[in-house]
Amino acid sequence: MKVKDARFVLSAPSWAALPPQTAPEVAFAGRSNVGKSSLLNALLGRKQLAKTSGKPGKTQALNFFAVNPNHEGYPDLFLVDLPGYGYAKVSQSQRASWQRLVGRYVTERAEPRDDRPAPLRAVVQLVDSRHGMTKMDEELLALMLESSAPHLIALTKSDKLGANARQKAVAGIHKHLAPYGLELPVVLTSSEKKQGLHELWNWIETVL
Ligand SMILES: Nc1nc2c(ncn2[C@@H]2O[C@H](COP(=O)(O)OP(=O)(O)OP(=O)(O)O)[C@@H](O)[C@H]2O)c(=O)[nH]1
Ligand SMILES: [Mg+2]
């Protein structure tokens, strides 16, 4: 997709605050600090449209970004930055309520309603290429697989690995998923070095 324009639309801290379903949505999920906001910015070709931070927990709501909004504000697509999973420095109840919100978002928005197609078309789950699937990533995967939307794993920060380690990281994910009978696409990305962005866009366009 050619990104001619991208805009931050709104930040939804609750179900009621979600925007009306006006365009397809692609959601980005992952542990806190895994690089969600950075990947979104890289995909949109914008530096700080989604706020990034060295400190985990920066994104605390579902943030909607419109791709190529027309003059009435209707975009081709929304990219949705989901709150970081498993951020330690918030209360248990706050964490539980995020998980409920994200879980509900990825399931309910992936179902067609009132003769309209489902807005949520795809879920990109980010995993740090240096660490592979951790226990927390597995928990999040289970939550994301509740969604009927197609799923892709994006390995982040691949610039921090050498060529061999990068290939090992990809193989590691496939190996990890095999026992579950899961064959998800896995893409190596680096927001820093702008790697994997074409591949990711191609996949997004195919599932749209
Ligand atoms: N080297 C490198 N660093 C990256 C890359 N992507 C993100 N980072 C760094 O990782 C840190 C976290 O990035 P964010 O994009 O804010 O992570 P996030 O997943 O949005 O974090 P939360 O909003 O807390 O859930 C920042 O310091 C980024 O600069 C990358 O591709 N390469
Ligand atoms: Mg973020």
Give residue 36 CA to ligand 1 midpoint distance, Å.
Answer: 7
CA 16 to chain centre: 21
Pick the ligand that lies closest to the CA of residue 55: 1
Tell me the β-bridge partners of 31: 85
* pLDDT at site 56: 66
Pick the ligand that lies closest to the CA of residue 84: 1
Q: How far apart are CA 177 and CA 138, in angstroms?
A: 10
- Residue pLDDT tens, the chain, 208 long: 899 999 999 999 899 999 999 899 999 999 989 999 999 999 999 988 988 877 766 667 899 999 999 999 899 999 999 988 877 677 888 878 888 899 999 999 999 988 889 999 999 999 999 999 999 999 999 999 999 999 999 999 999 999 999 999 999 999 999 998 989 999 999 999 999 999 999 999 999 9
Q: How far apart are CA 11 and CA 15, in angstroms?
A: 11
Q: How far apart are CA 152 and CA 111, in angstroms?
A: 18
Give residue 53 CA to ligand 2 midpoint distance, Å.
Answer: 7
CA 14 to chain centre: 18
Pocket test for ligand 1, best of 11, 36, 52 (most atoms within 8 A of CB): 52
Give residue 153 CA to ligand 2 midpoint distance, Å.
Answer: 17
Q: Ligand 1 atom closest to Cα of 55? A: 24
Q: How far apart are CA 202 and CA 208, in angstroms?
A: 10
* pLDDT at site 95: 79
Pocket test for ligand 1, best of 39, 40, 47, 53 (most atoms within 8 A of CB): 53
Nearest-5° Cα angle at 95, 90 to 101 = 140
* pLDDT at site 168: 97
CATH architecture of 6-207: 3-Layer(aba) Sandwich (3.40)
Residue closest via CA to ligand 1's atom 6 equals 35
* pLDDT at site 102: 92
Task: For residue 32, count CB atoms less than 10 angstroms from its CB and return exposed for 0-12, middle for 13-18, buried for 19 or more.
Answer: buried
Pocket of ligand 1 (CB under 6 A): 30, 32-38, 52-54, 56-59, 84, 156-157, 159-160, 190-192
DSSP code string of the chain: ---S-EEEEEEESSGGGSPP--S-EEEEEEBTTSSHHHHHHHHHT-SSSS---SSTT---SEEEEEES--TTS--SEEEEEPPPBT-TTS-HHHHHHHHHHHHHHHHHTTS-BTTBPPSEEEEEEEEETTT-S-HHHHHHHHHHTTS-S-EEEEEE-GGGS-HHHHHHHHHHHHHHHGGGT----EEE-BTTTTBSHHHHHHHHHHH-
The answer for residues whose C-beta is within 8 angstroms of residue 43's C-beta and 6 or more apart is 3, 79, 197, 200, 201
